[in-house]
Amino acid sequence: MTLGFVIGESKPTVVTGQTSRSLPIGEYVIINSKEGKIVGLVEKSVVSSAALGDVKNYDETLESIEVAALNKRDKSHTAMIRILGFLESLQKGKAILPAIPPTPGTEIVKATKDDLGQIFGPENEEWIKIGGLLRNPEIDSLINLNKIVSRHLGILAMTGMGKSNLVTLLAKQIAELDGTVIIFDYHNDYSGLDFPKMNVIDAKINPRLLEADTLSDVLEIREGADIQQRVLRLAFTPEVKESANFWEALDSQVQYIGANPDRKEDRHSADRVQDKIDDARHRSSEILDPDMSNPVALIKEGRLNILNVSEFTDRQANVALAYYLQELLADRKAAVNAKGGKTKSKRSYRFNTPIFVIIEEAHVFIPKNEDAKAKYWAAKIAREGRKFGLGLCIVSQRPRDIEANVLSQMGSLAVMKIVQEDDQRQIASAAESISREFIGQLTSLNIGDAVLVGQWVNLPAIVHIDEMKGKKIGSDQDAVGEWAVAKKFEEVGAKSMKDLTRKDF
Ligand SMILES: Nc1ncnc2c1ncn2[C@@H]1O[C@H](COP(=O)(O)OP(=O)(O)OP(=O)(O)O)[C@@H](O)[C@H]1O
Ligand SMILES: [Mg+2]
């Protein structure tokens, strides 16, 4: 179906189209150039009216509207169309741009399912469906799973725009393929999901396995409290680590150090450390468990593992994430090296196949300009994970607060609605393939719409992600509804109380 024609000045990368209707931004079209069919993406769309272009007052506007309605030539629909490459080469997974620009007068036609199906939905088991093209909805949008496990993924959007929905969709499909997924669930959003192959775990920390400075984080010893940190470091001896009754052994060792007559000034700090140990034992007893085996043993291969860290303080969550990331990387390294016969070391490993780790609220764990243990390990996995089959997915509503070095290592991105310019700028600098016009689109996306760029797609795509049915994840609270129900209960309660009173007396 003819949509219009190329007009004005053309370039090999961009043309202007004059069309019979306004083309929506994000629509894919075909330019029937002499050299072959070219795929184009509408990046800008303008409609203007000759009669209404230069009106001076209200009455003239009314008249001009009538004139415009009668004149078929009044409206002009102009579109800026970015050239993505020859259709034939794109269907084979390669983008080849024309050497010479399409001549003005070249026909622009609607892209069909036959044209685009192979590009956005290759028939290959690596590719899974996550939605449809936003402006060509009859065409499915698929993504290459292998690319995100080996080259990582960023899911970025304002709150409530569909990040967790996409996470659930991906995680479920990976688990269905017998892959291992771990979601680091900061707000306990995912444990209510109802899928087969789910393994919900309350994340725990075994304090015996930590380093002294990490233990001090877990006990919430203040960062500047140097003497307290020193006391803890001295008290955290190998004997304490191995003693049957860990907390008591640690507590008495701290007391012993505080009683050193040569360092009377330590006494007060040792008391404070004892308080902290006492606090941690009572307040965090659910999550600090010196009697558990390795926390990583709770994770199951071939499952969707949900690690609930919602009971942790931020510092504890940071320690836990750092611990899991470090262990997972070491495990995968051992597995890959053993398979390749590269190592003589006999470090045993748990996971035989690649793992995909998803970090929600990534800006908390991988913050810009701040040192954090989890950040160190996330950055290391972002750089090295590829070799060992450990993929990272960072999910955030504040891309501007994420360490740029880590964000730029994400080989693929799904970006949903984002209004803040700081965030847009950060995304633009992280992803070269995301053009300025695309970024401009981010403000106008609706819930569930996303721009997909990077290695998991053959072409940048504006899509609508399928909504996951089933239990709602992290949905907004229905305050008004809950108040109404509570009031009803109160009324019913009061009434039955009256009935009761009347009957009984
Ligand atoms: N693809 C979609 N299609 C239709 N509705 C969607 C889609 N994705 C999400 N929604 C709706 O939007 C709501 C919020 O989605 P979701 O929890 O995924 O957002 P989020 O970006 O993770 O938010 P937060 O930043 O608060 O975690 C969902 O409860 C769902 O109703
Ligand atoms: Mg969410």
Residue with the larger pLDDT of the pair 476 and 122: 122
- Closest ligand 1 atom to residue 464 Cα is 1
Q: How confident is the model at residue 503 (pLDDT cuts 50, 70, 90)?
A: very low
- Closest ligand 1 atom to residue 449 Cα is 1
Per-residue pLDDT of 3-61, as tens digits, reads 999 999 999 999 999 999 999 988 999 999 999 999 999 988 999 999 999 999 999 99
- Whether 499 is in a domain gets the answer no
- Ligand 1 first shell, C-beta below 6 A: 157, 159-165, 397, 447-448, 465, 467, 472-475
In the chain, the amino acid numbered 425 is R
Q: What is the CATH number of the domain that holds 147?
A: 3.40.50.300
Weakest-pLDDT range from 275-279, 476-480, 496-500: 496-500
Other Cβ atoms less than 10 A from the Cβ of 125: the count is 8
- Whether 472 is in a domain gets the answer no
Q: Are residues 307 and 360 in the same domain?
A: yes
Q: What is the pLDDT of residue 470?
A: 64
Q: Are residues 39 and 170 in the same domain?
A: no
Per-residue pLDDT of 73-127, as tens digits, reads 999 999 999 999 999 999 988 889 999 999 999 999 999 999 999 899 888 899 9
Q: Say if strands 449-454 and 412-415 run parallel, antiparallel, or are unpaired.
A: antiparallel
Q: Are residues 95 and 226 in the same domain?
A: no
Domain boundary among 283, 313, 346: 283
- Whether 422 is in a domain gets the answer yes
- Closest ligand 1 atom to residue 167 Cα is 18
Distance of CA 337 to the CA centre of its chain: 30
Report the separation in Å between the CA atom of 383 and the middle of ligand 1, taken as the mean of its atom positions: 30
Instruction: Considering every ligand atom shown, identify the ligand nearest to the alpha carbon of residue 170 and give its number.
Output: 1
- Closest ligand 1 atom to residue 360 Cα is 27
Dist CA 230 CA 362 (whole Å)? 31
Contact 366/372 with Cβ under 8 angstroms? yes
- Whether 120 is in a domain gets the answer no
Q: How confident is the model at residue 332 (pLDDT cuts 50, 70, 90)?
A: very high
- Whether 63 is in a domain gets the answer yes
Q: What is the pLDDT of residue 443?
A: 83
CA-closest candidate to residue 88, choices 35, 24, 11: 35
Q: Are residues 81 and 8 in the same domain?
A: yes
Report the separation in Å between the CA atom of 162 and the middle of ligand 1, taken as the mean of its atom positions: 3
- Whether 122 is in a domain gets the answer no
230 membership: H or E segment, kind and range: helix 226-235
Mutation test residue for ligand 1: of 447, 452, 477, the one with most atoms within 8 Å of CB: 447
Q: Are residues 297 and 381 in the same domain?
A: yes
Report the separation in Å between the CA atom of 476 and the middle of ligand 1, taken as the mean of its atom positions: 9
Weakest-pLDDT range from 158-172, 181-195, 426-440: 426-440
Distance of CA 209 to the CA centre of its chain: 30
Q: Are residues 277 and 320 in the same domain?
A: no
Domain count, the chain: 3
Minimum CA distance residue for ligand 1 atom 9:
162
Q: Which residues pair with 307 in a beta bridge?
A: 184, 201
Report the separation in Å between the CA atom of 205 and the middle of ligand 2, taken as the mean of its atom positions: 24
Dist CA 174 CA 167 (whole Å)? 11
Domain containing 250: what range?
A: 207-283
Q: How confident is the model at residue 153 (pLDDT cuts 50, 70, 90)?
A: very high
Contact 415/434 with Cβ under 8 angstroms? yes
- Residues with CB under 5 Å of ion ligand 2 are 163-164, 474
Q: What is the pLDDT of residue 496?
A: 61
Q: Are residues 304 and 335 in the same domain?
A: yes
Averaged pLDDT score across all residues of the chain: 89
Q: Are residues 165 and 297 in the same domain?
A: yes
What's the per-residue H, E or C state across 238-264? HHHHHCCCHHHHHHHHHHHHHCCHHHC
Judged against a pLDDT cut of 90, whether residue 146 lies above it is answered with yes
- Closest ligand 1 atom to residue 157 Cα is 21
Q: Are residues 252 and 297 in the same domain?
A: no
Residues 305-334 have a mean pLDDT of 90
- Closest ligand 1 atom to residue 131 Cα is 1
Q: How confident is the model at residue 494 (pLDDT cuts 50, 70, 90)?
A: low
Residue with the larger pLDDT of the pair 361 and 496: 361
Q: Are residues 169 and 314 in the same domain?
A: yes
Q: What is the pLDDT of residue 107?
A: 97
Domain boundary among 236, 261, 283: 283
Q: What percent of the chain has pLDDT over 70?
A: 94
Q: Which residues pair with 75 in a beta bridge?
A: 49
Report the separation in Å between the CA atom of 456 and the middle of ligand 1, taken as the mean of its atom positions: 21
- Whether 425 is in a domain gets the answer yes
- Whether 159 is in a domain gets the answer yes
Q: Are residues 163 and 264 in the same domain?
A: no
Report the separation in Å between the CA atom of 197 and the middle of ligand 1, taken as the mean of its atom positions: 23
Domain boundary among 219, 249, 283: 283
Report the separation in Å between the CA atom of 424 and the middle of ligand 1, taken as the mean of its atom positions: 20
183 membership: H or E segment, kind and range: strand 180-185
Judged against a pLDDT cut of 80, whether residue 343 lies above it is answered with no
Q: Are residues 318 and 329 in the same domain?
A: yes
Report the separation in Å between the CA atom of 137 and the middle of ligand 1, taken as the mean of its atom positions: 20
Minimum CA distance residue for ligand 1 atom 25:
159
Q: Say if strands 2-7 and 14-19 run parallel, antiparallel, or are unpaired.
A: antiparallel
Dist CA 374 CA 90 (whole Å)? 39
Mutation test residue for ligand 1: of 156, 161, 165, the one with most atoms within 8 Å of CB: 165
